Amino acid sequence: MLEKPKLFLDFKEILVVLILFSILFFIRLELIYKEYQNFISKPFYYTYVNVLQQYQKKKGNKIYTVLRVYSPSLDLNFFTHTYKIDNLTDKKVRLKLFPSKEISFFDYMSIAYISSKINSTSFKPHNLKFIISQKIAKQHIDTDIAQFYQAIFLAKPLSKKIRTNISKLGISHLVALSGFHLAILSGILFFLFKPLYHIAQQRYFPYRFDLIDIGFIVLVILGWYVWFVDFPASLVRSYVMMIIGWLVVIMGIELVSFEFLIITIIILLLIIPKMLFSLAFWFSILGVFYIFLLIKYFNTINKFWMSLIISFGIFILMLPIIHIIFSTTSPLQLYSPILSLGFTLFYPFSILAHIFGIGGVFDNQLKWLFGLSSSSTDIILPWYYGVFYMVLSIGAIFSKWFFYILSFVAFGFMIYMYIML
């Protein structure tokens, strides 16, 4: 059997591409830096924002509301605060911003804090997204469960309470719309279109390929969906990766390769340079990296066992990386691989249930799951451990022994976290 050609013939080609990318990337950064300088030089701005999250905090005797917002006109994510306690997540908010030279370029590229004053608020028009959101809510008595479904279908923000419960279960990746959801949706769409396409193909165009035609239709539909849910960063990132992957497959080039991952990172950073400072972006890239690593060393086993190895393997291999940044540790997080596997069935069935007006069919099970209580502790790893772990990870690309050591270190860390404590 002929092997698929690789993206690069040798290391020299990779090096040339990386040099060209670096030049283009620094040009892009220079242009963004000029935008940043122009932004902080102005005394104030007026802009409409979408409120992504809001929660209350207390300082002394004063209670204020922290807002995480996105300004489409400025293409800027930032935090601000107000002393209003109204629910602003479903409102159109106009802010008067007061930029400061204390805002660093790093803050501007990631998520800055910007002082502001609410200039006006108004109700958003009842568009299709609002109507669907209301139809989802009406199928649930518990508002937390309704929020959960609105999040996994429409990328709506969650309350702090349910975000905490989800974090303790280690399933934040299942709730925030990402490539996992797009992969399930693309599989559903391909399954629905394939029988109809084959009937037309046999009669009118037997010379065409379903991967190209159905794949293109699916990408168009998913592109509309990304637009419909207001371009959440995690979904945009995953959608671009999906387009690149589709192009690589139809060109007959090897898809599951670290070269493909390098090209994907390059293209994504050129399109959206701000991803360079996004933890979510690098976590998703590392997730794909470890999937490729597991496939590399377990590609001879059947699909059932492979799915189990990937689900549990990703959980174990990502633990040390996650705990360099995030400290929350709970025994409930051990459910994460099982819940991730179950989600691939739960997600399409829950979509179907909501279409037929019986979306509450899983409410009791979800209330039980989100209501599970457990002790938690904080475990944080030093940065030099992360450097050591990444050296092992890169070495595992080239050496099976490095992969064994990497797996041993990750598994040992999991034992230390959940059994020894």
Domain that holds residue 73: 42-124
Mean pLDDT of 200-210: 82
- Count of the separate structural domains present in the chain: 2
Extract the tokens encoding 5.
Answer: 């050609």
Are 242 and 99 in a shared domain? no
Extract the tokens encoding 268.
Answer: 């994504």
Phi–psi pair at 231, nearest 5 degrees: 50, 55
CA 5/CA 67 separation, integer angstroms: 49
**Range with the poorest average pLDDT among 156-160, 311-315, 374-378:** 374-378
More confident call, 372 vs 391: 391
Residue 281: its H or E element: helix 279-298
HSE value, Cβ hemisphere, 13 Å, CA-based, for 116: 28
Highest-scoring range by mean pLDDT, 59-68, 173-182, 343-352, 368-377: 343-352
Question: What is the structure's pLDDT at 119?
Answer: 86
pLDDT band (50, 70, 90) for residue 389: very high
Question: Which spans in 160-229 are helix H?
Answer: 160-169, 172-175, 179-204, 210-228
CA 20/CA 363 separation, integer angstroms: 52
Are 104 and 239 in a shared domain? no
Are 255 and 384 in a shared domain? yes
- Asked if the model's pLDDT at residue 274 lies above 70, the reply is yes
Choose the final residue of a domain: 124, 147, 166: 124
* Bridge partners, residue 90, by sequence: none
Phi–psi pair at 289, nearest 5 degrees: -55, -45
Q: Does residue 206 fall inside a structural domain?
A: no
Query: Which residue's entry shows tokens 């929660």?
Result: 55
Choose the final residue of a domain: 74, 104, 124: 124
Percentage of residues in the chain with pLDDT exceeding 70?
Answer: 95
Extract the tokens encoding 310.
Answer: 């990937």
**Range with the poorest average pLDDT among 5-14, 47-56, 271-280, 289-298:** 5-14
Choose the final residue of a domain: 124, 148, 168: 124
Question: Which spans in 299-399 are helix H?
Answer: 303-325, 336-355, 363-370, 383-398
Entry pTM: 0.84
HSE value, Cβ hemisphere, 13 Å, CA-based, for 2: 5
HSE value, Cβ hemisphere, 13 Å, CA-based, for 244: 21
